[in-house]
Amino acid sequence: MEFKVNKTEKEWKEILSSEAYRVLRQAGTERPFKGEYTDTTEQGVYSCAGCGLELFSSENKYHSGCGWPSFWGELESAKILKKQDTSHGMIRTELVCSNCGGHLGHIFNDGPPPTGVRYCINSVSMKFTKT
């Protein structure tokens, strides 16, 4: 798949921390309850740590208790890509940044109204900007 932001693996390794590289570029998962934004309640916008594309508003964030930042909806402009993930013996829907292809997390059908979905996102995949 071709993305607007396209870098070599060497370039990604130069701009991302080793943990961000492992998650964003190798579809890793950070440890639950350890991420920087798991319990953040401040108002602002969450952007892709790889390319800066705005993904989520704090208005859509909620505490799900799952150990990762959770959102019930994305910013319309994010256009997050959804693809089937069959790793680890499960069938899930992976969330990928539409701008750079970075792995963000997964989406599940156990979220609150109004959407009923839970965007389960790795903190290290995002940068937060207060508004």
- Tens digits of residue pLDDT in 67-123: 999 999 999 999 999 999 888 788 899 999 999 999 999 999 999 999 999 999 999
Catalytic residue among 48, 51, 97, 120: 120
Domain boundaries, the chain: 9-130
For the whole model, what pTM was predicted? Answer: 0.94
List, for residues 17-48, the tens digit of each pLDDT value. Answer: 999 999 999 999 999 999 999 999 999 999 99
Three-state secondary structure readout of the chain: CCCCCCCCHHHHHHHCCHHHHHHHCCCCCCCCCCCCCCCCCCCEEEEECCCCCEEEEHHHEECCCCCCCEECCCCHHHCCEEEEECHHHCCEEEEECCCCCCEEEEEECCCCCCCCCEEEECHHHEEEEEC
CATH of 9-130, one of 3.90.226.10, 1.10.510.10, 2.170.150.20, 3.40.50.720: 2.170.150.20
Q: For residue 120, indicate whether it is catalytic.
A: yes
